[in-house]
Amino acid sequence: MLRTKERPEARRPNHSTLTTETQQVSLTNYESPIVVDRSLPGIALKLPISISFSYLGCRISAVARDTSDGPVVSVTGVVGSVPFSVESPTARMMIRAILANLPSSGIVKLEAGERNQIVLRGEAPIGNPPSPAGVVAAASAVLSAAKPLIDLLAKIGARPTQRSSLDAGEQDGGTAKVAALS
């Protein structure tokens, strides 16, 4: 890191230019209060494992499991609903057309489910060995890819999910529940 410091003698009333000097700042003598022993193995998860949480007011479930291609996280959730024809026939038609024409490639897919629900499905690799951070990062990658699509559908007129469908007492960005599947 470099810091630039003005020298006091550089301030002369009749001169418009200032001379500066550069000091090298180093953290080589800094001692961390936390000591990390790199010989300890990382925390490896025993798969499958399930995580459920709230995102944008929607109930989301993520299941980490082993596949032939390595560990992956499958994310599912209802992120809204298609409006009824009585509410907005144009919005309904546009949302259904967008959902039907979204590419199936990539890590996320939005589709029309039962009872006019907009269902999020996605899958992302975790990395080996599977770790809690890897599971969260993979689920975050799926949600990050879905966010612009969710926002687009909301602007067109998709209805948000009902707050009553969330667990009692849970708020947006609230607690996550983890369960090991056997």
Residue 171 has pLDDT above 70, yes or no: no
The verdict on residue 35 lying in a domain is no
Placement of tokens 């948000």 in the chain = 160
Has residue 170 been placed in a domain? no
Lowest mean pLDDT across 64-73, 163-172, 173-182: 163-172
Q: Comparing 108 with 163, which gets the higher pLDDT?
A: 108
Question: Rounded to whole angstroms, how far apart are CA atoms 20 and 178?
Answer: 56
Task: Give the Cα-Cα-Cα angle 130, 64, 165 (nearest 5 degrees).
Answer: 140
Number of structural domains the chain divides into: 1
Q: What is the mean pLDDT of residues 76-100?
A: 93
pLDDT digits (tens, 9 = 90+) for 22-37: 444 444 444 544 444 4
* pLDDT tens sequence across 56-67: 888 999 999 999
CATH number (domain holding residue 63): 3.30.1460
pLDDT in tens, 35-60: 444 434 456 678 888 989 998 888 99
In the chain, pLDDT over 70 holds for what percent of residues?
Answer: 64
User: What pLDDT sits at residue 103?
Assistant: 84
Q: What separation in angstroms does the CA of 164 have from each of 24, 53, 126, 167?
A: 58, 14, 32, 7
How far is 21 from 15, CA to CA, in rounded Å? 17
Structural domain harbouring 65: 49-160
In a domain? residue 106: yes
**In-domain check, residue 110:** yes
